[in-house]
Structure 1
């Protein structure tokens, strides 16, 4: 049991998948001990978005450990075996694992780990001589190595930041309180997977019989997730290494072209929405009274108090209009920002501005922060370098590989093999004959 001002090998801040992976992979390694500090009292993984029927967009084999150590006791298959569901899961198929089951897996793994301290809200990370002092609301910890895994924050449009939070809210909070939306006019803004799931959820009447339901996206249409084998090689370790070596302007262009590989909608969800809308016509369902999908349309301002007048602009023609709404759900994604608790050492960190308003700590290939401090002090950043390491950085696909890379760096020798995986696509012309 840790005590006040105890010294720890590694302090990992945040008990999301990234640091759970780090702790699980570190568990059998005697040279290192990882302690996780988590502000919540229990493990929570996107609790506001655990909508019934929502499925994972990645394989459950891209869990906390399997790509790095298939024999680990913390794998998703080990979880299924422990729950006596392995045979049934094999018969059912592992291509449609629900988000609620994956969260249950994360909870199971967290219970097996004995080094997570819940209810520890980190207030500050300070430099004390040749070590860090991590200050929480309860105690202080000393360490030479800290790992950030606090995740991203909801991205709120400027026009929605000062709106009443019960009427205009981010999608991530949808299920955090009971919402009775009967006779309400609801607008969902955002054409990605979360927007699609929420639109389908509200269309089903789960939150009451809506008066009107409108789905608005700036995309030219409601596009499916790009999920072909070749596209999925963007989520291989060697692609991240190639991406890291590109210029800022090149990275920006690449990420723009890759948006549907990370934020397209599952084809099954699109089919379910289309079927629900078709059935609504067949059965002449009365509610919602009015249903509308607007593509190629930007939401640009919000006026009045509920009911609101949401300003819309058709992107191709430039035509503007106002849409009356009682509730606006912002499925507008997430951005990376520098945690407030890093303020004491902020001047020692190098920061880069990334697309979408994100601010990223500049990291090296081993995910160590570029830090102007004592060599003995090392700070690593998990899932906070998408602009530097590529599309997979904030995705589950490379979580075990990144945790393995960090552990190898911390320990100082190779414990997990992090060499490039076999792949079909070549991302570098180095070694190729000829030139263009």
Structure 2
């Protein structure tokens, strides 16, 4: 790596999205790229991978296939090279095991010479006269500096931990660290999980499976009105499309916030068959005696207090508008993830665009500055919709980023794939008529 060399792209963070970008740029001789991540190796949510857990999207949503099905870094090629293609076929499931997806991504990183781990980004500066970014990287062998025309941020998200839950490292853990602590959980008298999404569901199911042997009290609570399954109907899946992404982006900021607030069932719920597995397991376990397991919706965690070797957890039930307390030796938080702006961006914050609510403002092409030279992965639910963290849309975003940087369509980007229309055609839009006392028109409800 020559510090005088000018790269076309420096990728900061190597999660699935930037790894997909590395795979898609690798065959392009006109692009010089390099990617850095502070972790020791690729590792994607391995802390919450109970045996048998799967992705919630089909295998074709891999690192490259939606942009380039012929790319050698496809999941099917990975299976072929590892003599698992026929076994995967016979298994007859479109959904990849999470552990296998992690292995697939690790394999991809091992094939790429421009992906570097144990590399912490200290600082990024911008030389306006040269229109270049200088990236200072700390590695085990020392500090290095690289220069680039474009940055692509892929630093990912971190588990949400309310402030009142911080300061209890022995008793309060994130779902992301579940497997690391599981052996300790099995010796506890009581365990409480908060969060009604897929992660919380998988942890509840895993602990429920062993409740007979260890006889702990197992509680699962969510502030949602019910433990809901994701809507994965085919017409709903059309919302994870370029069509809907473009439509959503065209809405004004307040309307987008309103819409995304109503779409929890599209991306925050539990996979339906897994909901059924939980119910079947509860039925099986309760056949001979009541099981020490509780499930409670409409309950928001309000406060935490340590008392001896257990925690007093205060919840507020929104149905009765009253608070109540639960005792638990362990609290597992499965509250989702949030984006935190990397500190290395501080010197170039003035170049980044911000919306009226202080959030990074993304352009339609996922750039976050006026010059279209800084791009962001995995943020912008408020601008591009709930598909932003969806692995199935990673190739779509990466194709747009690559095409923008090169100024031509290297990877074709679909514009319309949905049978639905998410808005009328411009020529069909008319100015609403004012209602008069003589008007007999009415809005029909069905």
Tell me the TM-score normalised to structure 1 length: 0.92
Stretch of structure 1 that moved more, 343-352 or 413-422: 343-352
SS at match of 1:80: helix
Instruction: Return the index of the structure with the highest Cα Rg.
Output: 2
In structure 2, relative to structure 1, the CA distance for the partners of 1:212 and 1:177 (3 Å cut) is closer
- C-alpha distance in structure 1 between counterparts of 2:424 and 2:310, whole Å: 57
Does 1:186 pair with 2:197?
Answer: no
RMSD, matched Cα: 2.0
After TM superposition, the structure 1 = structure 2 runs for residues 155-234 of structure 1, keeping only pairs within 5 Å, are: 155-160=160-165, 162-177=166-181, 179-181=183-185, 182-205=187-210, 209-234=214-239
- The Cα shift of 1:351 comes to 2.5
| Equivalent pair of 2:188/2:329 in contact (CA under 8 Å) | no
- C-alpha distance in structure 2 between counterparts of 1:210 and 1:187, whole Å: 14
After TM superposition, the structure 1 = structure 2 runs for residues 105-144 of structure 1, keeping only pairs within 5 Å, are: 105-129=104-128, 130-137=131-138, 138-144=143-149
- The Cα shift of 1:226 comes to 0.8
2:257 corresponds, among 235, 252, 260, to: 252
After TM superposition, the structure 1 = structure 2 runs for residues 21-420 of structure 1, keeping only pairs within 5 Å, are: 21-129=20-128, 130-137=131-138, 138-160=143-165, 162-177=166-181, 179-181=183-185, 182-205=187-210, 209-284=214-289, 290-305=292-307, 306-352=309-355, 360-371=359-370, 375=371, 378-420=373-415
| Equivalent pair of 1:50/1:100 in contact (CA under 8 Å) | yes
- C-alpha distance in structure 1 between counterparts of 2:260 and 2:194, whole Å: 21
Gaps of 5+ in 1: none
- C-alpha distance in structure 1 between counterparts of 2:149 and 2:213, whole Å: 53
- C-alpha distance in structure 2 between counterparts of 1:81 and 1:392, whole Å: 29
- The Cα shift of 1:80 comes to 1.4
- The Cα shift of 1:397 comes to 1.4
- The Cα shift of 1:260 comes to 1.5
- The Cα shift of 1:176 comes to 3.3
In structure 2, relative to structure 1, the CA distance for the partners of 1:178 and 1:219 (3 Å cut) is closer
| Equivalent pair of 2:57/2:95 in contact (CA under 8 Å) | no
- C-alpha distance in structure 2 between counterparts of 1:60 and 1:157, whole Å: 34
Gaps of 5+ in 2: 433-446
Tell me the TM-score normalised to structure 2 length: 0.90
SS at match of 2:417: coil
- C-alpha distance in structure 1 between counterparts of 2:311 and 2:172, whole Å: 10
Stretch of structure 1 that moved more, 395-404 or 83-92: 83-92
In structure 2, relative to structure 1, the CA distance for the partners of 1:86 and 1:8 (3 Å cut) is same
Stretch of structure 1 that moved more, 264-273 or 52-61: 264-273
